[in-house]
Structure 1
């Protein structure tokens, strides 16, 4: 429909801050995005974007149009989703999650989801970096702790526990810490989280241990702890088996941080799409029990 040409492309450029980001979000080429916006500007007889080699900014006309057009695109998506078969998900679904949680839990859940919904094409990107969902064109991400990005919506789908632990051999040589102050005297093994979290007399405390050894793999940190290299604080699923069979011993349990939330987060304009709704429902049903068993 000619009257729609340029509208979604303009909203995408304004949202992502670039033509490249908009093209990625819409799964188009940058030339297609640029051409569509030029057609929109021709119909308006006014520019909506100012383009330089460094950045893209909105004109006065663009600023006036952005929110009404953003709402128009969102309402269109929701109406089409509702009319396309109710809870029958279809199309591409791009999801991102941290590597450890993703490999153990999210990938199997998403695999079962894809089997049950053959009209959905699934891409799962496992990475420990914080992905820009809008700018990089993702539908949903799994994140833990407090949510800080107000542009995203979130549904709590599970909880996870952080555990401080060390091997019996290490503790026999170095002694068992009795307080947070004692941690400064120990070798610390640090993963992707630079801060270790505790609750002391109802107050949240974060400490930043000086690592003797660090790695961005939770499995590698757990293995180092089992080998007697030092203390680590990790999500329980990394160390549950080693704790159960005595290869690791939990420490400072009396000031362990309360279980932290696990969230499914997603751009606002996608939260009513059936493919996202049904995946969130499945994550709530399956991830929480899976983590609890660990």
Structure 2
């Protein structure tokens, strides 16, 4: 079973810290506490250790070659730091790739961690990209298509006089066909989330034949509705959160939500992992949280909630109960 991404990111952050040469005894003790918190933590650390072992095997082969030459000790001293730097660089690259996947660098529009962008498309449609979002725009004489590779978008479709080309948004889970509307689309690991704020959108999961062919799995989502779409179907409609698109104004609006959900959402806007200790997960929050400086926003939460924040190496944040260890 794969290790969850946030856990692996935290393990990489720990590896970078412990291999930096600046790690203290307190860092070592904190690492041990983190390893003892959950089996997944130990599993992620073990997997990174196995990766290091592969580097060590490669280094061993190189060392054997060096030993056959004169003055091996001096050459080994030169080789060791270089390979150490390469291992740290590899871990750093893995972390960067998880925060900003290299495969998305060719997207037409791309936002980094914490970045937002607004684009006016050739037909006048207004496209807003949230954090960590990659979109391709494919407008031709037959279609107006957005391909959401990952992340979240807000779309306000335009209707120029004489425009006959259909407008669509495609994700790995299917196709969305707006009918003169304003809506948001979010591509999560397990599904595509759609929320409709004006008019309606037809959600056609991946198992459907291309429109206009009829499909029993398709669902029309009206104004104020929200669904999750996977290749094999669309969920029943629920009420859309009217504040879910507040990210366009740099805010997260929450109403009596558990801290576990709030932290998971804030983690999308920060480079580096945020972990939440179990005793703080149930703390509930109502309010508005700024998204432009997540570290500062979390620090503000400690003034009104029974929680505390620990910062490790300026990269990993741990949120726990104020009375916890």
* TM-score normalized by the length of structure 2: 0.20
Greater helix fraction, Structure 1 or Structure 2: 1
Greater strand fraction, Structure 1 or Structure 2: 2
